[in-house]
Amino acid sequence: MTDFEFPPSFIFGVATAAYQIEGAVGEDGRTPSHWDTFSHQRGNTYQGDTGDVACDHYHRYASDVGLMADLGVDAYRFSISWPRIIPEANGQINQRGLDFYRRLLDELEQHHIQPAVTLYHWDLPQWLADRGGWINRDVAKYFTDYAVAVFRALGDRVPTWITHNEPWCSAFLGYGEGEHAPGHRDWREAIIASHHLLLSHGWAVEAFRALAQSGQIGITLNLTVVDAATDVEEDAQAARRSDGYSNRWFLDPIFRAHYPQDMVDLFSRYVSWEELVQPPDLTTIAVPIDFLGVNYYTRSVVYDDPDDSWLRVGHRRAPSGQMTEMGWEVHPDSLYRLLRRLQQDYTTLPLYITENGAAFADELTDDDQVHDGQRVEFLERHFEAAHRFVAEGGNLKGYYVWSLMDNFEWAFGYSKRFGLIYVDFATQRRIWKESARWYQNFIKKRRNTSSSN
Ligand code: IFM
């Protein structure tokens, strides 16, 4: 058991996302999102897996909140499914969709678990995908209308709002690499989408302020630390480009009101900036927020690769060290380095780790056990890195483990398990992994310590 102590006000939580857990894709007026479309197209996901049923959380939300209560978490981060709230092009709000989230909030309230709500975790309504998706600037306006509808309906019950989850994935995996919905492979589209996603974030925050909502609002970025594979100058330059692509492309506009010039120069062969970025856009994107959400999973080690036509960047598998089932290097020290960098270079606002966790090859034993010691060690080491930052005065306020339970891991379908709780997808049985018990004890121990102080 770890013996480091976080401040009593520090929040420990778990995180999920709508399409990854809810299922019930045709219920109570929900229409398809572009992830429904994408996952149903042959070859896009592992073994054709879809989110049709997922963890059936839509029907099992009450017992799932019971699991969270048993874990003892302070907070739960989940996302709202846009096509449940605004299912049709006529823009009408679907009360039955909102009611589901009201029931979920009721349940959380009963168990004294604080909600943190993400507005967009990748499930764009198909009716908007049909209008061009994030390539269409109007979609940013539609997002703002959706955000306002949700703020109005649930605003008094939600203390923490997150506009977007990982816009890098929405833009670059969705429109550039084609691994995520809508599955396009066009870098021009990806750059355009990234700008519209950021713009929609800014407009949603402005709308939130205009409504004089209580609570705090921010954005969650997936960020990393990029190391050059060698000391040679070409690799250092590659690391700079990779950092520009993964980190600075989002951090600079949000905190400095401009895109990084080196990346603008690089991307100029794909887009015309005058057409894409209208005069007030950058001020809108840099609208003050209340916190930054950080999703951290691994670092990158890169080298100069002339064969890569996009950034001239190659990724090196770490020469040694532990890997997760995703092939991601386990590197807790880079979490510490990332937090330090954010605070030194970008913001002194509160930071939250809105996701951190790992997929390992979990196996259910005959006596219903999952011995995921690797995940326990992963979490311990990352908690320690976060603690180091906090102990040095770093403004980190909370930590959400990804994920409460195994779920639909996008293109990897159900083949990668990130949960603290094991889900037997054939029966929907939830089984506590060793890591869940470890987290439960960790939280219990710190409660006891802070109440005896
Ligand atoms: O499952 C995803 C989540 O939806 C977004 N962040 C990364 C997780 C693990 O890949």
Question: Could you give the domains of the chain?
Answer: 11-452 (3.20.20.80)
- Amino acid 317: pLDDT: 83
Task: Supply the pTM of this predicted model.
Answer: 0.98
Rounded to whole angstroms, how far apart are CA atoms 118 and 359? Answer: 22
- Amino acid 213: pLDDT: 87
- Amino acid 2: pLDDT: 57
Cα-based distances in Å from 241 to 244, 254, 344, 394? 5, 19, 20, 27
Query: Residue 73 C-alpha to ligand 1 middle, in angstroms?
Result: 20
> Tell me: the pLDDT tens digits for 244-274?
999 999 999 999 999 999 999 999 999 999 9
Contact 99, 142 (CB under 8 A): no
- Amino acid 115: pLDDT: 98
Q: How far apart are the first and last CA of the chain?
A: 20
Backbone angles phi, psi at 125, to 5 degrees: -55, 140
Rounded to whole angstroms, how far apart are CA atoms 84 and 71? Answer: 29
Rounded to whole angstroms, how far apart are CA atoms 302 and 290? Answer: 33
Lookup: tokens for 197 = 């996603």
Backbone angles phi, psi at 315, to 5 degrees: -105, 130
The average pLDDT across 180-207 equals 98
Query: Residue 21 C-alpha to ligand 1 middle, in angstroms?
Result: 12
Higher pLDDT, 452 or 295: 295
What confidence tier does 450 reach under pLDDT thresholds 50, 70, 90?
Answer: confident
Three-state DSSP class for 244? helix
Rounded to whole angstroms, how far apart are CA atoms 257 and 101? Answer: 34
Query: Residue 168 C-alpha to ligand 1 middle, in angstroms?
Result: 12
For ligand 1, mutation pick of 45, 79, 418, 423 (most atoms within 8 Å of CB) = 418
Tally of CB atoms within 10 A around 374: 18
Residue (of 409, 443, 419) closest to 364 by Cα position? 419
The average pLDDT across 189-198 equals 98
- Amino acid 3: pLDDT: 66
Residues in contact with 270: Cβ distance below 8 Å, sequence separation at least 6, in sequence order: 187, 188, 191
Q: How many CA atoms lie within 13 A of 359 on its CB side?
A: 14
Identify the residues whose C-beta falls under 6 Å from ligand 1.
Answer: 17, 20, 166, 295, 355, 402, 409, 418
Rounded to whole angstroms, how far apart are CA atoms 34 and 149? Answer: 21
Residue (of 119, 134, 228) closest to 173 by Cα position? 134
Tally of CB atoms within 10 A around 95: 12
Catalytic amino acids?
166, 355
The average pLDDT across 299-324 equals 92
Residue type, 198: L
Rounded to whole angstroms, how far apart are CA atoms 200 and 171? Answer: 13
Instruction: For 153-276, list the strands marked E by DSSP.
Output: 160-165, 216-222, 226-228
Q: Which runs of consecutive H residues, i.e. helices, occur in 320-422?
A: 332-341, 373-391
Mean of per-residue pLDDT scores for the chain: 97
- 134 by Cβ neighbours in 10 Å (0-12 / 13-18 / 19+) ranks as buried
The DSSP call for residue 351 is E
> Tell me: the pLDDT tens digits for 313-328?
999 987 668 999 999 9
Three-state DSSP class for 134? helix
- Amino acid 452: pLDDT: 67
For ligand 1, mutation pick of 45, 166, 170, 354 (most atoms within 8 Å of CB) = 166
- In the chain, % of residues over pLDDT 90: 96
Annotated binding site for substrate: 20, 121, 165, 297, 402, 409-410
Backbone angles phi, psi at 229, to 5 degrees: -65, -30
> Tell me: the pLDDT tens digits for 9-65?
999 999 999 999 999 999 999 999 999 999 999 999 999 999 999 999 999 999 999
- Asked, as a colleague might, if the bond just before 350 is cis with ω within 30 of 0, I would say no
Residue written as token pair 């889900």? 423
pLDDT greater than 70 at residue 447: yes
> Tell me: the pLDDT tens digits for 345-391?
999 999 999 999 999 999 999 999 999 999 999 999 999 999 999 99
The average pLDDT across 287-301 equals 98
pLDDT greater than 50 at residue 1: no
